[in-house]
Structure 1
């Protein structure tokens, strides 16, 4: 298994402001981090017009409510859960796809549309320490992103440790599960005897560094957790001049 130094921040460039009609309030300059928060408020007709497909992939089991967002093949049980926790339960995961890629992943906790957004951070990270267009997120080196409960990470590490020296987790475990979905996503159970699962999916253009965001309601409670893979711009999946 390859290991890599985890970066704490990265500069995000080339992102424009959100669509005026879909603008969101935030306690920090969210529009400089993602112009795509408005995608969550689009109707089916608007999604189709913008060449975006919403793909529900199943429900994620969160027995502890401590969520890990990461590349599941380059992290281990030392990777921390996000600082904000949610109520334990089962929550649906939806992918927004465009240009033949997974553009964003959403984990929904309640009905409604977020009224403000905040950067999802790890314990010890402080948004006020970011300079310019820096942002917290997670590195991808195996072309995958994921949402999982903290408990799922331990189960996956145990499953990896059972592999033979000449085996690897993707080729010998995950590949057959990804195949029915054109290798785009899977709801993976690292322990067949446990309901705890992991939502795994393509990471946009592949390897890189990707931020996640909490969409909050008026009371400050999480509505969704979103990872933006940088495929959309201004909540539009059309490429180049078509989006103008």
Structure 2
């Protein structure tokens, strides 16, 4: 992997408002939420790390002090990641963004997406000559990518990093519980509010949140009865539900296999 480096010797971003946002420039209306923590207004170096021409991370360097700890960068809506639908991530000064008309944002998005075909990142001014925006390609494409604040030993901010999870592997945990109607009371699954509901020969498996990445029903001999990835998902009030209509009821002793996403680690 290439070490983080500037796009060019003078690649610096100015944030006059002290408020930043990280978003997909192709869908500002859907994704515009400011970061909750402010920075000191100023001009800061922007760096990118890449591996085999794939963007690995974007960093805004806020000070020369080394980061001794990393913490999720919370947005004002309580989330910690940037959603991507159009293959890019932009880091912007919120003060400039709110003054920018929608037509100009769309024009800049189209122009700079073309530039990303030949360069890992591009910088520009939202409302004038001051460079207050940077846009990079988003790793392997669309998804949700975590943002982190780097903190110095005294608690001050040293950097803001968007991690595209290119050189990373997921940490997963698999549990098996009896397949039977009712709430799943296994302690390690309690936070997911996992429940099985029987309804006239059909079964509804519901859970809270997005950290359950796999649900399967296995017969007592281990034979696969259901892979829930092939079922549609209905989401309401933060609860995800999948309905299974089996040709025959699962035999006694069947189990529900649950795979949880616990995080990721770099490789």
Q: What TM-score, normalized by structure 2, do the two folds share?
A: 0.57
The alpha-carbon distance between structure 1 residues 102 and 69, as it changes in their structure 2 partners (threshold 3 A), is: same
Aligned residue for 1:232?
167
Give 1:72 deviation, angstroms: 1.4
**Which of 103, 125, 145 is the equivalent residue of 1:161?**
103
Residues 86 and 142 of structure 2 are in contact (CA less than 8 Å); yes or no, is this contact kept in structure 1? yes
Give 1:196 deviation, angstroms: 4.3
Q: 2: CA distance between counterparts of 1:139 and 1:152?
A: 21
Q: How does 1:217-228 map to 2 (within 5 A)?
A: 217-228=152-163
Q: Please, which runs of 5 or more residues in structure 2 have no aligned partner?
A: 170-265
Give 1:53 deviation, angstroms: 4.1
1:69 aligns with 2:17: no
Residues 53 and 98 of structure 1 are in contact (CA less than 8 Å); yes or no, is this contact kept in structure 2? no
Q: 1: CA distance between counterparts of 2:143 and 2:3?
A: 23
The alpha-carbon distance between structure 1 residues 109 and 185, as it changes in their structure 2 partners (threshold 3 A), is: same
Ranked by relative contact order (alpha carbons within 8 Å, sequence separation 6 or more), the top structure is 1
Aligned residue for 2:71?
118
Q: 1: CA distance between counterparts of 2:108 and 2:67?
A: 36
**Which of 124, 145, 148 is the equivalent residue of 1:210?**
145
Structure 1 or 2: more strand by fraction = 2
Give 1:147 deviation, angstroms: 1.1
Aligned residue for 2:126?
190
Q: Please, which runs of 5 or more residues in structure 1 have no aligned partner?
A: 1-50, 126-134, 235-242
Give the structure with higher Rg (CA): 2
Q: CA RMSD in A?
A: 2.6
Residues 175 and 183 of structure 1 are in contact (CA less than 8 Å); yes or no, is this contact kept in structure 2? no
Q: How many residues align?
A: 168
Q: What TM-score, normalized by structure 1, do the two folds share?
A: 0.61
Q: Deviations over 1:14-46 (max 9, x none)?
A: xxxxxxxxxxxxxxxxxxxxxxxxxxxxxxxxx
Residues 57 and 161 of structure 2 are in contact (CA less than 8 Å); yes or no, is this contact kept in structure 1? yes
Residues 76 and 153 of structure 1 are in contact (CA less than 8 Å); yes or no, is this contact kept in structure 2? no
The alpha-carbon distance between structure 1 residues 207 and 216, as it changes in their structure 2 partners (threshold 3 A), is: same
Q: How does 1:1-244 map to 2 (within 5 A)?
A: 51-57=1-7, 58-76=11-29, 79-125=32-78, 136-155=80-99, 157-158=100-101, 160-161=102-103, 169-171=108-110, 173-175=111-113, 178=115, 182-191=118-127, 193-233=128-168
